[in-house]
Structure formats: structure tokens, C-alpha cells
């Protein structure tokens, strides 16, 4: 990712706080978290799982913040499990 794009994305993400809205989401959710994510710690994934009314947490055995790139087969498998494909 280009540094200017990364900065713009980071400012948007870290400048937004939507935690108060999580209890309002009633659609089933899968929170996918890698074992080692330098941008989002496991505590955040657990908070989302515990705060979203219909959420499950899936931990992907991979490193980094982009599991769809670091472990695409694992992400595909977990999506298939939850989508019944």
C-alpha cells in the first residue's frame, strides 16, 4: 500500500469510534482475527464478539492485518463454514 493511502486509511480508522453502535447490529457476524495482528489486538476482536449480539470469533493461524492476503485458504474455509457453502 502506498504510504499516502495508508496514512489516509489510518486517519479514518483511528479517528472513528463506532463502538456504541455495535449492540444495534442484529445480523449474524463473523469476527475474523489473525493470531498476531500488529494493528488490531485480540482484545478488540473479543470485544466485538462480546458486544455484537450475534457474533462468533474465528481466529486465523496467520500473522498480520490482512488475513485474506496472508492466509487466503483459511479465510475461504471459514467463510464457507459460516455461509454453508
What does the pLDDT look like over 1-42, one tens digit per residue?
789 998 998 899 888 899 999 999 999 999 999 999 988 899
Domain count for the chain, please give it. Answer: 1
User: Which grid coordinates are listed for 49?
Assistant: 464478539
Question: In whole angstroms, how far apart are CA 38 and each of 14, 41, 46, 62?
Answer: 14, 7, 16, 12
On whether residue 66 sits in a domain, the answer given is yes
User: Which grid coordinates are listed for 61?
Assistant: 493461524
Position 30 scores a pLDDT of 95
Confidence of residue 76 (pLDDT cuts 50, 70, 90): very high
Q: Are the CB atoms for 11 and 37 separated by under 8 Å?
A: no
By C-alpha distance, which of 30, 26, 31 is closest to 53?
26
On whether residue 12 sits in a domain, the answer given is no
Position 13 scores a pLDDT of 83
Q: Structural domain of residue 72, as residue ranges?
A: 21-83
Cell 489510518 sits on residue: 10
Is residue 85 pLDDT above 80, yes or no?
Answer: no
Residues 6+ apart with CB under 8 A from 9: 1
On whether residue 9 sits in a domain, the answer given is no
Amino acid at each position: 500500500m502506498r504510504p499516502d493511502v495508508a496514512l489516509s486509511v489510518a486517519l479514518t480508522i483511528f479517528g472513528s469510534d463506532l463502538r456504541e453502535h455495535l449492540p444495534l447490529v442484529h445480523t449474524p457476524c463473523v469476527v475474523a482475527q489473525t493470531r498476531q495482528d500488529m494493528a488490531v489486538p485480540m482484545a478488540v476482536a473479543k470485544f466485538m464478539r462480546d458486544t455484537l449480539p450475534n457474533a462468533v470469533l474465528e481466529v486465523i493461524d496467520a500473522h498480520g492485518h490482512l488475513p485474506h492476503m496472508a492466509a487466503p485458504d483459511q479465510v475461504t474455509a471459514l467463510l464457507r463454514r459460516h455461509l454453508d457453502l
